[in-house]
Amino acid sequence: MHLPKLGWVKFFQGRPIPGVLKNTTVSRHGRHWFVSFQTEQVVADPLPQDPADCIAGDLGVKHFLVLSDGTIYDAPRAAYAHLRQQITRVQRKLARQVKFSKNWQKTQRRLNVLYAHVADLRRDFVQKLSTTVSQHHATVALENLRIGNMTASAKGTVEQPGTQGRQKAGLNRAILEMGWGQFLTVLEYKLAAQGGQLVLVPAAYCSQACPQCGYTAKANRPTRDRFCCQACGYAKMADVKAAEMLEDRGRQRLGVPLRPHPA
């Protein structure tokens, strides 16, 4: 391609470029340079899907996503942990170096490359997961997270993860939260593109309320993973139960019949 001021440069074309070219953007991500082409084309409206084909997902720390049909999706934890370790090590090294020295700058660049890896890993995971979910379900209900604030603060936290003891937990959580935010955004347009929709519902009491008798108490969660109603004995994996309640709320919002959830 021919770029102003640079002339002819080689690039790898990842996929066909359909439509009429509108503009071109060159950007840098970690060590790599990217070029993206914005194009315009007319796309037919997708056929609306049946909203009764509704499922819900619980976004969590232990499992990234648990669907109300019991499917569990985990984030690439081992890979995240490995990168987090490296980031912590390089951050320590950076702290010992003379600010703005040659070596300090080198370490800073290394750190930026690691941050870019975390972002790549997360984007890859979110893209694949949202494709899988949107291929199997037309309508998905998710907890109404306050994404705007969350992503903004999480971005701050990844690069400035606080001090000492909180550092690891803060970074860990920030990575997760950014993943949730991205997942919502990406899933929403993928569902819409095929005539489905994303429904955001409040998650209040989803972890403590019994779907069978309504008894709501902290004690209904004897362990983090297990829900067990202290009043009627209804028991289930906690994340699945929470997802089922989100599904019910989503269905109520859409005005479609509830689906029974066998215990």
Smallest distance, Å, CB 16 to Zn ion? 55
Residue entry with tokens 């790898």: 12
Smallest distance, Å, CB 243 to Zn ion? 17
* Part in contact with Zn ion (CB under 5 A); list of ranges 17-25, 84-92, 134-142, 205-213: 205-213
Residues 137 and 52: their CA atoms lie apart, in Å, by 10
Smallest distance, Å, CB 183 to Zn ion? 31
69 part of the active site: no
* Contact between 210 and 171 (Cβ < 8 Å): no
Asked if 215 is part of the footprint of Zn ion (rule: CB under 5 A), the reply reads: yes
Near Zn ion by CB under 5 A: residue from 110, 212, 228, 254: 212
Work out whether the CA dihedral 148, 41, 193, 24 comes out positive or negative: negative
The count of other CB atoms within 10 Å of the CB of residue 260 is 7
Residues 80 and 76: their CA atoms lie apart, in Å, by 6
Catalytic, out of 58, 177, 244, 247: 58
Smallest distance, Å, CB 206 to Zn ion? 14
50 part of the active site: no
**Is residue 86 classed exposed, middle or buried when 0-12, 13-18 and 19+ CB atoms within 10 A define those classes?**
middle
Site string for Zn ion, 155-194 (x = CB under 5 A): ----------------------------------------
For residue 118, the surrounding DSSP H or E stretch is helix 102-136
Catalytic, out of 50, 177, 188, 239: 239
Residues 107 and 173: their CA atoms lie apart, in Å, by 24
Residues 92 and 78: their CA atoms lie apart, in Å, by 21
* Part in contact with Zn ion (CB under 5 A); list of ranges 49-57, 127-135, 206-214, 245-253: 206-214
Asked if 210 is part of the footprint of Zn ion (rule: CB under 5 A), the reply reads: yes
Catalytic, out of 45, 53, 120, 143: 143
Judged by beta carbon, residue 133 or residue 210, the one nearer Zn ion is: 210
* Part in contact with Zn ion (CB under 5 A); list of ranges 84-92, 177-185, 222-230, 247-255: 222-230
Can you state the angle between helices 147-159 and 102-136, rounded to 10 degrees? 150
Asked if 104 is part of the footprint of Zn ion (rule: CB under 5 A), the reply reads: no
58 part of the active site: yes
Residues 138 and 147: their CA atoms lie apart, in Å, by 22
* Contact between 61 and 99 (Cβ < 8 Å): no
Can you state the angle between helices 102-136 and 77-96, rounded to 10 degrees? 160
Smallest distance, Å, CB 236 to Zn ion? 11
Site string for Zn ion, 224-253 (x = CB under 5 A): -----x-xx-x-------------------
* Part in contact with Zn ion (CB under 5 A); list of ranges 25-33, 160-168, 207-215, 244-252: 207-215
* Contact between 190 and 137 (Cβ < 8 Å): no
Give contact residues for Zn ion (rule: CB under 5 A).
210, 212-213, 215, 229, 231-232, 234
Residues identified as active-site: 58, 143, 239
